[in-house]
Chain A
Amino acid sequence: MPEPEIAVADIVETVPSALIILDQNLIVQSANRAFYQTFHTSALQTEGFLIFSLGNRQWDIPALRNLLESVIPHRAAVEGFEVEHDFPTIGQRTMLVNARKTMRGGGHDGYILLAIEDVSEERKARKESKRNWQLTQSIVDTIRDPMVVLEDDMTIVTASKAFLTIFGITQAEVQGRRLSELLQQQWDVPALRHLMEKVLPENKPIENFEIEDVFPALGRRVFNLSARKVFQPGNHAHRMLLVFEDITDRKRRERDAIALTNEISHRIKNNLQIIVGLIAYETRWTAPACVQGYQAMQTRIGAISQLYDLISQSSCGRTIAVNAYLTEIAKNLSTSLLGSASSITIEVRAEPLEIDPERAVPFGLLVNELATNAIKHAFPDGAGKVVLSVVQAGSDLELCVSDNGIGIKDKDAASKKASETRGSDYVAIFVRQLGGAIAPSLVEITGTTVRVLFPLRLTPSGGAEPVAA
């Protein structure tokens, strides 16, 4: 059969890899377009020449010479032969050479087909990736907080030295395993798993996920977990960095502080209970006309006592939520002055503002005084509504205590009872303590409204800075 020369040439031209055909003397018979393009040469400079003499002998590479002169004569095919060489025309390159020998009739050697693939970029990227990974591992190992790197299937690629040391586990024991399988499965928490599953596909980091458990050889510990996708431009690897911050000591300090605050609050409120109880004891022998005064004193104590609950709930006891405080004062007034059967209701409308604890006392007492006045005097028929509201008004804070009762008909102070005058005195004192002023009354169709404006030394809820006293 004739040699299929045309067919070979067709194949050679259609293959994207650089191909070159040599005869048994290693003379170039043909090469494809990809070869000429890759090596910046032409058919004229190539065909009919000994391969080693091509391009001013730039192909005279010892490794290639070894392949063609020593290996190919004994083997029909060689695959994946890697040649690294600095070509004068195209620079440093890594070539992957596949060689196949065709046999002629009678078992004689025919042609040698060399497929040359330029894998320089791939090898370079691989080296770069390896260097990056080594760098990452070095960084991971130098960070004090334990951390692990996870694949997208949640198996561990590597763990930092800190992780291995703290949890008393080896790299071999963690690699390829899921976090939930480690130790005594302390990390097998559904909420954490749910969050971790979103880190890679949704690029949604985990911030401050707390886990408290007993860990082998460590005892009870609290860890704060943070996770984020490891991102590198041009890198499509899907990996996650999970960091474990041991916050056991911090949590203990926080809990101790809360426990101390609660203990102090408990003792103060017990002492206030004794005072309220003694007042109650006094009322047994007090003339009925004076009982109201004693009861008013009890509600004032009640208004102050509400603060201690709110302080223990606030962050580090630095500010008091005004709306929560008003709600507690309203409850205290309802239970002490009205009872569940009363037709007088107290409504709270407050913006989410906070007040410093120092001003919270006169503020609470002021609200208590104004609301008590409304309850006692606005509703002779025993039904109505008192509204306690606080809004921010420009650079001021506006407290309004309003009712839908009978209104102030007699404005002559001289006709007021002694207890009412005393109430007004208290209001004036508390307003002065707050550094505020009573705003002029608006014309009202029904009821009474008292507006008090304070200089704005309040911060909105969630504000970063606490208010200075």
Chain B
Amino acid sequence: MAVILVVEDDMMICMVAEMMMQDWGHETLSASDEEEALKFLRSPQPIDAMFTDIYLKDAVLGGCSLAHQAIALRPHLKVLYTTGNFLTDNMKALFVDGAQCLGKPYSQTQLHNSVVEMLAT
């Protein structure tokens, strides 16, 4: 089982995502923006993966920027993005290597499959 950092500015969505992941046996941490997420990432706290929204508060591509900083801090971190926006090629070009994106709204099955695929990479 993994430790997954969930970065989502909508508290309800964040809680439900964490709840699903905990149901599958994972441990979760949560942050609502880049700053909070980076505090975890800079800490000695073990983190295996990060599930981050792309649009974080006022930062339209905040999740993309966060993922690059996260990989710089933790090169082996697995990353899965999510977004409520239409995913453009420009956005995909900003993804860290090997990362996928799960569009909103996602069901528990879709999140489960995406998390399994992320952790398997």
A residues in contact (CB < 8 Å) with B = 262, 265-270, 272-281, 283-284, 295, 298-299, 301-302, 305, 308-309, 312-313, 335-337, 339-340
- Distance in Å: Cβ of B47 to nearest Cβ of chain A: 23
> Judging by beta carbons under 8 Å apart, are B107 and A298 in contact?
yes
**A268 proximity list for chain B (CB < 8 A):** 84
Q: Are A262 and B86 in contact (CB under 8 A)?
A: yes
The answer to whether B84 and A302 have CB atoms under 8 Å apart is: no
Partner of B84, one of A265, A283, A284, A340: A265
CA distance A280 to B107 in the complex (A): 7
A278 to B19: give the CA distance in the assembly, Å.
Answer: 11
Interface pair B107/A269, CB less than 8 Å apart: no
Cα A283 to Cα B106 in complex, Å, equals 15
Contact across chains for B85 and A262 when beta carbons are under 8 A apart: yes
Report the separation of the CA atoms of residues A212 and B106 in the bound assembly, to the nearest whole angstrom: 38
With contacts A266-B85, A340-B113 known, is A302 near B107, CB below 8 A? yes
CA distance A312 to B85 in the complex (A): 9
A273 to B86, CA, bound (A): 15
Contact B106–A309 (Cβ < 8 Å) = no
Supply 8 further A-B pairs (C-beta < 8 A) apart from A262-B85, A266-B84, A273-B10: A266-B85, A272-B105, A273-B84, A273-B106, A274-B16, A279-B107, A280-B20, A283-B108
- Find the A residue at minimum CB distance from B23: A284
In the complex, A135 Cα to B23 Cα: how many Å? 81
A-B contact pairs, 21 of them (CB 8 A): A265-B86, A266-B84, A269-B84, A269-B85, A269-B103, A270-B104, A272-B104, A273-B10, A274-B12, A274-B13, A274-B16, A276-B105, A276-B106, A279-B107, A295-B107, A295-B109, A298-B107, A309-B86, A312-B85, A336-B107, A340-B117
The interface residues of chain A lying within 8 Å CB-to-CB of B20 are 280
**Chain A: CB-nearest residue to B15:** A277
Q: Which 4 A-B pairs have the closest CB atoms?
A: A277-B16, A269-B84, A273-B105, A276-B105
Interface residues on B, range: 20 to 34
Q: Which residues of B contact A335 (CB under 8 A)?
A: 109-110, 113
What are the residues of chain B within 8 A of A280 when measuring CB–CB?
Answer: 16, 20, 107-108
Using Cβ atoms and an 8 Å threshold, which residues of chain A touch B108? 280, 283
Contacting pair B23 A267 (CB below 8 A): no
Residue ID in chain A nearest B17 by CB atoms: A277
Q: Is B55's CB within 8 Å of the partner chain A?
A: yes
Tell me the smallest distance from the CB of B21 to a CB of chain A, in Å.
11
> Hey, what's the 0/1 contact readout for B37-57 against A, CB within 8 Å counting as 1?
000000000000000000100
Which one of B17, B83, B104 has the highest number of Cβ atoms from chain A below 10 Å of its Cβ?
A: B104
Which residues on B sit within 8 Å (CB–CB) of A273?
A: 10, 13, 84, 104-106
Residues of chain B within 8 A of A336, CB atoms compared:
107, 109-110
Chain A residue nearest to B19 in the complex (CB):
A281
Contact in complex: A270, B13 (CB < 8 Å): yes
Find chain A residues with CB under 8 A from B83 CB. Answer: 266
In the complex the two chains form, is A270's CB within 8 Å of B106's CB? no
> For the complex, what is the distance from the CA of A269 to the CA of B103, rounded to whole Å?
9
Q: Which residue of A lies closest to B11 (CB)?
A: A274
Q: How far is the CA of A418 from the CA of B21 in the complex (A)?
A: 32
Bound complex: CA of A265 vs CA of B88, how far in Å? 14
Please give, as numbers and ranges, the residues of chain A lying within 8 Å of B10 by CB-CB distance.
270, 273-274
- Which of B87, B105, B117 has most A Cβ within 10 Å? B105
A197 to chain B, nearest CB (A): 30
Which of A278, A299, A302 interacts with B16 by CB under 8 Å?
A278
Q: Are B110 and A305 in contact (CB under 8 A)?
A: no
A313 pairs with B13, CB closer than 8 A: no
What chain A residues lie within 8 Å of B109 (beta carbons)?
295, 335-337, 339
A283 to B12, CA, bound (A): 17
- The answer for the CA separation of A367 and B4 in the assembled complex, in Å, is 36
Q: Given A273-B13, A277-B12, A278-B16: A265 and B85 within 8 A (CB)?
A: yes
Which chain B positions have C-beta within 8 A of A269?
Answer: 84-85, 103-105
B86 touches A299 (CB 8 A): no
**Inter-subunit contact B84/A270 (CB<8 Å):** yes
- CB-based contact A275/B105 at 8 Å: yes
Distance in angstroms from A308 CB to nearest chain B CB is: 8
Which chain B positions have C-beta within 8 A of A262? 85-86
Task: List the B side residues contacting A312 at CB < 8 Å.
Answer: 85-86
Distance, CA A115 to CA B117, complexed state (A) = 96
